[in-house]
Amino acid sequence: MKRLYISIFVLSGLFISGCSNDFLDVEPSEAIPADPALVNSDEGASSFVTAIYNQFLGWEMSSFGWNAVSSIISDDADKGSDPGDAGGDKDIVDALTYNASTPSFESTWNANYAGINRCNQALEMFPKLDKVTPALKTRLEGEAKFMRAFMYFTLVKGYGGVPIVDHLALVPISEEDRKMQLTRKPAAEVYAFIEKDLKDAIANLPEKSAYAGNDKKRVSKGSAYALLAKVSLYQKKWQEVIDNCDKVTGYSLVSDYALQYKKEGEFGPESIFEIDGIGSTSSPGFGIGNYTVSQAPRGAGGWGWGFNTPTEGLANAYEAGDVRRAATIIFRGSVLYDGQPVPATVANPRYNYKAYSSAFYNQEFTDTNLRYLRYAEVVLMKAEALNELGQTSAAIPLVNMIRKRAGLGDTPFTSQTDIRKAIYKERRLEMAFEHDRWFDLVRTGQAQAAMAADGKTFVVGKHELFPIPTSFLREAGALSQQNPGGY
């Protein structure tokens, strides 16, 4: 897809656009005014949504800081690298000794609001475009609302209540819009906003089967149902989880777990929402910035920075014969699937295999994709909801479906309590390094025990939510407050 950048005004991490003087920068260097007359075409309208997808390729959105606050922070990963290289703040995130000034929490906040700004810009512009094919415009509106919902879901999972910025604010900004951007809304309101966006997206998006060619990379009706099921999961709306999972049709588990993390397995039958990395050695911006190299083996014979390394606890959590272990963890001294050796001299014993790129393994921009929603998670969400409603016998076959694909036998457990633990474990192993573990630990109440087993101290009442960035609170003043915990 063509890269497209939207200029933005920045105020305390929230992004404000003045429609009268915005412009779009289109590669290679052409600048055109964001005037409806100049983008009033199918291609012009599509470029707004391309800009939203491209937000996920950003360094702050999907790479170094995001890996810290969603992975390194958990019991699945260590900081890695060398002892003397903190990666800015990765050591204190790993140790749970961070505070409101820790950069990775601020960059995650800013990146998601920058993406929300792109969604809002697209949604404000679409009604003004009368020369766009109506069916296309409807679909594009659905894509924009899905991604806005996804970004708000990331924010509410991490920070709790956050400002709901649902439209562009003119410059100079009005007092009403200033309050909109600086006032944290209760988490329940944020969830309600997400649900509305997803229901709108469901109405507008086609089924996955309706897409052809490159459009198969776009989100579909099934993507929106899957995300809505996950939003319901976090709110313990168990029946809604089941109902929405049942509406995710046209997807299936791939037979080879490892294949979906390789180039030839991209956007396969299991993929529901996946960020596309193209890979380039000469033209910047066609992959997730430094996503691969920042997690690649470090030291003598290595080719990367060595951050976000799998813990010994994760490696030991796999049962004998579980194919997911070898597909998830690069081991020191091994040979990778494409013949690339990992010398015994690299710094850390384990690295993230899901971040590996064969063709561009040591480049800033690689062809590695980031998998955010897969059908396997839909299966596990439904199993969890069924079990929580006391329908354990119906949940067990779903757990076994995931285990059999992993090369394992049926679960030996039958009680609701044991199946709950089995589902939690399958989520951990199935989706390791796919940015869910920390949020799963918090939402299920496992965090304190899991962190203790990993040698970390999780303080109840403090660590459930990320700190709100100091820069935002300084601007917000009395309009917003810090999360509890005395950061």
> Residue 31 is inside which H or E element, if any?
strand 30-33
Cα 126 to chain centroid distance, Å, stands at: 26
Residue-wise pLDDT tens digits, 445-459: 999 999 999 999 999
Examine residue 397 and say whether the peptide bond preceding it is cis (omega within 30 degrees of 0): no
Mean of the per-residue pLDDT values of the chain: 92
Kindly tell me if the per-residue pLDDT of 28 is higher than 80.
no
Lowest mean pLDDT among 2-11, 56-65, 124-133, 172-181: 2-11
pLDDT tens across 216-266, in order? 999 999 999 999 999 999 999 999 999 999 999 999 999 999 999 999 999
| pLDDT value of position 383 | 99
Predicted local confidence at residue 440, as pLDDT? 98
pLDDT given for residue 32 in this prediction: 34
The Cβ of residue 280 has, within 10 Å, a number of other Cβ atoms equal to: 16
With 50 as the cut, is the pLDDT of residue 19 above it?
no
**Burial (CB count within 10 angstroms: exposed 0-12, middle 13-18, buried 19+), residue 95:** middle
Mean pLDDT of 379-406: 98
| pLDDT at residue number 169 | 86
Give the pLDDT mean for 159-173: 93
| Total-model pTM | 0.93
More confident residue, 14 or 353: 353
Question: Can you give the residue ranges of every domain in the chain?
Answer: 4-185+465-479, 206-275+370-450, 293-368
Residues counted in the chain: 487
Distance CA 168, CA 15 (A): 9
Q: Convert the pLDDT of each residue in 407-419 to its tens digit.
A: 999 999 999 999 9
pLDDT in tens, 330-382: 999 999 999 999 999 999 999 999 999 999 999 999 999 999 999 999 999 99
Whether 465 contacts 69, CB under 8 Å: no
Question: What pLDDT sits at residue 283?
Answer: 67
pLDDT of residue 16: 32
Flag whether pLDDT at 284 surpasses 80. no
Q: With bands split at pLDDT 50, 70 and 90, how would you rate the model's confidence at 317?
A: very high
C-alpha to C-alpha distance for 99 and 2, rounded to whole angstroms = 38
Which CATH code, of 2.40.128, 1.10.3470, 1.10.287, 1.25.40, is assigned to 4-185+465-479? Answer: 1.25.40
pLDDT of residue 36: 76
pLDDT score, position 319: 98
What pLDDT sits at residue 99? 94
Is residue 349 within 8 Å of residue 290, measured between CB atoms?
no
pLDDT of residue 11: 27
Q: What is the pLDDT of residue 57?
A: 95
Q: Is the pLDDT of residue 199 over 60?
A: yes
Is there a cis peptide before residue 28, judged by omega within 30 degrees of 0? yes
pLDDT above 70 as % of the chain: 92
CA atoms within 13 A on the CB side of 274: 24
| Residue-wise burial string across 290-312, b where 16 or more C-beta atoms lie within 10 A, e elsewhere | bbbbbbbbbbeebbbbbbbbbbe
Top CATH class, 206-275+370-450: mainly alpha
